[in-house]
């Protein structure tokens, strides 16, 4: 019998802005698993579809820097002129309790987490093409043309870091991308390093069984 470790997965999901990682994460949370989303803190302005405390915890830059000084963050980074940080609170406790903890964070933050948690499962979400990425950013209607250009340029830089991730998933159709990630997590569950113990039948009992007459 195989006994798996109770500890949950630390799942890191990154993607260029507009690739759809937020939608994918929401779908993963809706599936029937013990999952917990660590809500990042940011200094960026809220968008119309943002929900404080759900999509992000929104703070002013002064408060963010104060939290840095207090050691509040597991990791933090500055992305496109705004700060993003991962709170330490609850993450280790949730993992120990068997929850899969999802971090929806930028590339720099993901690489920092990978250094701290060697067993983190790092997944990079790609759009089907850069043309599609531009169309999604335009459709979102929250960025100026100049800001879209900056986001696309940033995406080119982020993609260079794919080799530091464990998996890449193309988000052409959300439901298919979610299914692929679920398959990844199922496979990860049975990695040998996640096995706590293997109990075998006693050798003597097996020998008795072999020697028994049919």
Mapped onto helix, strand or coil, the DSSP state of residue 50 is: coil
Which among 170, 169, 204 is positioned nearest to 184, based on CA atoms? Answer: 169
Give the domain ranges of the chain: 2-211
CB 126 within 8 A of CB 19: yes
Contacts of 166 by beta carbon, 8 Å cutoff, 6+ apart: 121, 122, 123
Query: 182: how many CB neighbours lie within 10 A of its CB?
Result: 14
Contact 31, 42 (CB under 8 A): no
Q: Is the pTM of this model over 0.75?
A: yes
Q: Give pLDDT, residue 214.
A: 57
Q: Which segments in the chain show pLDDT lower than 70?
A: 213-214
Instruction: Tell me the β-bridge partners of 142.
Output: none
| CATH number for the domain formed by residue range(s) 2-211 | 3.40.50.300
In angstroms, the CA 191 to CA 193 distance is: 5
85: Cβ–Cβ under 8 A, 6 or more apart, which residues? 40, 41, 42, 64, 67, 68, 72, 73, 74, 75, 76, 77, 109
Quote the pLDDT of residue 196: 83
- How many Å apart are CA 98 and CA 17, to the nearest integer? 30
DSSP 8-state code for residue 51: -
Q: Which of 161, 202, 142 is nearest to 16 (CA)?
A: 161
List pLDDT tens digits, range 116-149. Answer: 898 999 999 999 998 988 888 888 877 788 888 9
Q: Which residues pair with 103 in a beta bridge?
A: 12, 38
């Amino acid at each position: 019998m195989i006994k798996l470790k109770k500890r949950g997965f630390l799942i890191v999901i990154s993607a260029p802005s507009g690739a759809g990682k937020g939608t994918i994460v929401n779908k993963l949370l809706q599936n029937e698993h013990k999952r917990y989303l660590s809500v990042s803190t940011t200094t960026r302005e809220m968008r119309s579809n943002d929900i404080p405390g759900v999509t992000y915890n929104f703070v002013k830059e002064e408060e963010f820097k104060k939290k840095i000084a207090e050691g509040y963050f597991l990791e933090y980074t500055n992305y496109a002129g705004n700060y993003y940080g991962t709170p330490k609170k609850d993450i280790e406790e949730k993992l120990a309790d068997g929850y899969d903890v999802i971090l929806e964070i930028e590339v720099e933050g993901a690489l920092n987490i990978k250094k701290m948690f060697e067993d983190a499962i790092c997944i990079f979400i790609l759009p089907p093409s850069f043309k599609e990425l531009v169309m999604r950013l335009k459709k979102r209607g929250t960025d100026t043309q100049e800001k879209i250009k900056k986001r696309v340029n940033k995406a080119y830089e982020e993609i260079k870091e794919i080799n530091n991730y464990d998996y890449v998933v193309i988000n052409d159709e959300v439901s298919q991308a979610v299914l692929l990630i679920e398959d990844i997590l199922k496979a990860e569950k049975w990695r040998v390093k996640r096995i706590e113990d293997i109990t075998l039948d006693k050798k003597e009992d097996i020998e008795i069984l072999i020697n028994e007459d049919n």
